[in-house]
Structure 1
Amino acid sequence: MKRILSIYLDSFKGLSQAAWLLAIVMLINRMGSMVIPFLGLYMTQVLHFDIKQVGVVLMSYGFGSVCGSYIGGWLTDRIGSFKVQFGSLVLAAPLFLLIPHFKEVQSLSIMIFTLSLIFDAFRPANSVSVASYAKPENITRAFSLNRLAINLGFSIGPASAGFLATISFNWIFYGNSFAVVCAAVIFFVFFHKREKRSDIKSTKEITAENELPQKTRNPYTDLPFVLFNIFCCIFSFCFFQLITTLPIFYREVHHLNDHQIGFLLGWSGFV
């Protein structure tokens, strides 16, 4: 067992300090994964929505995530990954606190769409940071570390949310907001000086690159890339049931309580 653990830990040796710091920020951010996994239960138990109304609100979350990912990538190309990530975290934190004040399907859908759009703009910018702060030979391992932080955080967030929900569902919104604020503060402390240096470097690189003829690649005409994304989309139809409708299934079919549901969701992230 010790040998297996040693091999596992050795796989992350040699990564840059920035890669580890990004993983810490992601870990703290995903430790706040409380609202979305329990949003369906919140709507059925507290707001007394029927399953169709729950579906409408969750659809707005998915649509906001798609828009946020695209806008986040667009903004990252123009203002840099640091500003997009920090802005996403800072703007998302108060939105989590506002959600409990919206109790109608239409208003809650708009609120969830807005939150998802802003919060998921973080993702493409974070991917750019992981790639830019990693050495070329370590990019795959840097992304693996980042993914490990996401899964570890998700193993803690829903489990904590299950405990908090037994006290009051309002606490999951407070907990999620607190985690996002912590992630924003730590991200700013660790990376605001690094960003200034990387901005100067990237400006010089861009100027040099513009002086040379380049063959541009269009992702929309890259057939393997397009097919890969189509398959990812199909897979996501199944995967995201884990954090949307599965908790409702646990409650209504298996009659599990909030703490048990949170433990099961957290166990999934740990595995």
Structure 2
Amino acid sequence: MLQKTATLYRNAYGGISREIWLLAFVMFINRSGTMVIPFMSVYLTQALHFSLPNAGLVVSCAGAGGILGTYFGGKLTDKVGHYYVQFGSLALGGMMFFVLMQMHTLPTLCATTFCLSLVGEAFRPANSTSIAFYSTPENRTRSYAINRLAINLGWAIGPALGGFFATIGYKYLFIADGITNISAALVLVLLLKNRNKVHASEGNTDAVITLPQSAFRDGIYMRFLVFTILFAIGFMQFFSIVPVFWKTQLHVSEFHIGLLLGANGLLVALFEMILIYNIEPLRPKLTFISWGILFCGFSYLLFIVFQGFVWILPFAVVTITISEMLAMPFMNSFSIERSTPQTRGQYSALYSMCYSIAQVAAPVLGGQIAAAYGYYVLWGVIIGFMLVAFVGFRWVKFLTEK
């Protein structure tokens, strides 16, 4: 049994280039300091005594900055290359955390959070383009999964440590995030050879010539992005509004909130690559995406069916994790497959912008609905979003098969 398991893991992780592993290592260092975002709403409401709608406004400013940062990050990636954009985003973003730590009023927090996200989110399209550059069509989904593995290993560490630091002082969350960002930038420079002089079109020749030369003229992709936004709005509630619900309604401590959120990253790290390796050949990517949407809705349904029961929280974490493992790697891979080497920055930027848009909409929508009608109405709204997204992705699948 142990030998079979070892062989399965070896096969799942085999055939990946050194550069992909180095990019994953950079991502791991960066995400190991992920402490501010998971606790931002709790920090604002508990330490600075902001109302939930105002806390949602600050978090939404991060999303607004992320929209612009992602867009310009994609433009810069096509102009100067993925290497320099990744380094600049990590280094400057790290410095911005130390600035954000000093802000305590609503206007300054909104402005600084916007600027931090503007710089930090430029990393997304550059990183996605870099992975496409160093991977092959055969291992591309797994290459993105390895990057997500690094994200989730870091996520397993960051929020858990963040819960500990929050009990001592929230300022340590900002310090840790800043240090890890800057450290990741240094590792990128020291270990990953700059192949920026080689344009992505020279490094990859797998593009399908018949694909549109602009994402904005790709009708199937535009529909895909709309339903991705709906999914992202629902998914992000779990890491913005849900922790506040756990704290205020179920009286879960910051430490245990950190452990629950960290468990999500640990589960993804342990099982996502094996899952993708075994199921990818069985169905089209959009089928797995659709299944992931349903699991997202089911995680919120658990809160409604088992109101007030703390023991249901680990099960909710497991279902949202299954949703993530089924949907996100295949979304990323599908997005790249719709592009050509010359348009990958644009396609990557638009896909990343879906999550930035959701970051704006999710806390505002969630905060306003929860404040006006209660958390359980909010969970019902999210379930409705997931049903619409499920039907939408099935429609996109139908269009791709015509």
Same fold (TM over 0.5): yes
Counterpart-to-counterpart distance in 2, 1:199 and 1:214: 27
Structure 1 counterpart of 2:62: 61
Q: Residue 201 of structure 1 is aligned with which of 193, 198, 201?
A: 198
- CA distance in 2 between partners of 1:118 and 1:85 (Å): 10
User: Does the alignment pair 1:261 with 2:262?
Assistant: no
1:50 corresponds to: 51
Counterpart residue number, 1:238: 234
TM-aligned CA distance change 1:255 to 1:14, over 3 Å: same
Amino acid aligned to 2:49: H
Give the equivalent residue in structure 2 for 1:210: none
2:247 aligns with 251
The residue identity in structure 2 corresponding to 1:190 is: L
Contact 2:33–2:154 (8 Å) recurs in 1: yes
Partners of 1:106 and 1:254 in 2: CA distance:
31
CA drift of 1:13 comes to 0.7
Per-residue deviation, residues 127-184 of structure 1 (Å, max 9, x unmatched): 1111111234322221111111112211111111001111111111111111112111
CA distance in 2, matches of 1:203, 1:156: 33
Contact 2:76 2:85 in 1 (8 A): yes
Q: Aligned to 2:16, what secondary structure does the other structure show? A: coil
Listed as ranges, the gaps of 5+ residues in structure 2 are 204-208, 268-402
| Paired residue type of 1:235 | F
CA deviation vs aligned residue, 1:186-216 (integer Å, no higher than 9, x gap): 111112xx22xx233339949xxxxxx9996
Measured in 2, the distance between the counterparts of 1:80 and 1:164 equals: 37
Match of 1:38 in 2: 39
> How many aligned residue pairs are there?
261
- CA–CA distance in 2 between the matches of 1:53 and 1:47? 11
Separation (CA, whole Å) in 2 of partners of 1:66 and 1:76? 15
Cα shift at 1:267: 0.8
| Secondary structure in 1 matching 2:104 | coil
| Amino acid paired to 1:66 | I
Q: Describe the SS at the equivalent of 2:20.
A: helix
CA distance in 2, matches of 1:85, 1:229: 24
Q: What's the RMSD between the two structures over aligned residues?
A: 2.0
Contact 2:95/2:182, CA 8 A, preserved across alignment: no
TM (normalized to structure 2)?
A: 0.62
Report which stretch shifted further, 127-136 or 31-40: 127-136
Aligned residue runs from structure 1 range 173-188, under 5 A:
173-188=174-189
Aligned partners of 2:232, 2:43: CA distance in 1, in Å? Answer: 23
AA matched with 1:160? L
Deviations 1:7-51 (A, max 9, x none): 133211111111111111111111111001001111111111011
Structure 1 position 6, deviation (Å): 3.1
Contact 2:19 2:134 in 1 (8 A): yes
Structure 2 counterparts to residues 84-103 of structure 1, below 5 A: 84-103=85-104
Q: Partner amino acid for 2:65? A: G
CA distance in 1, matches of 2:26, 2:241: 28
Structure 2: which amino acid aligns with 1:220? F
Spell out the pairing of 1:113-124 with structure 2 (5 A cutoff): 113-124=114-125
Amino acid at match of 1:222: D
Residue type of the alignment partner of 2:67: V
Contact 2:212 2:218 in 1 (8 A): no
Q: Which sits farther off after the overlay, 82-91 or 8-17? A: 8-17
Write out per-residue CA displacement over residues 58-80 of structure 1, whole angstroms, 9 at most, x where no aligned residue.
Answer: 11111111211111101100111
Identity %: 39
Partner Cα separation in structure 1 for residue 211 and residue 262 of structure 2 = 46
Alpha carbons of structure 1 residues 228 and 216: separation in structure 2 relative to 1, 3 Å: closer
Letter in 1 for 2:228: C
* Counterpart-to-counterpart distance in 1, 2:30 and 2:223: 31
What 5-or-longer segments of structure 1 have no aligned partner? 207-212
Q: Decide whether aligned partners of structure 1 residues 223 and 174 sit closer, same or farther in structure 2, where only a CA change above 3 A counts.
A: same
State the alpha-carbon separation in 1 of the partners of residues 135 and 200 from structure 2. 19
The question of whether the paired residues in 1 share the 8 Å contact of 2:82 and 2:196 is answered with: no
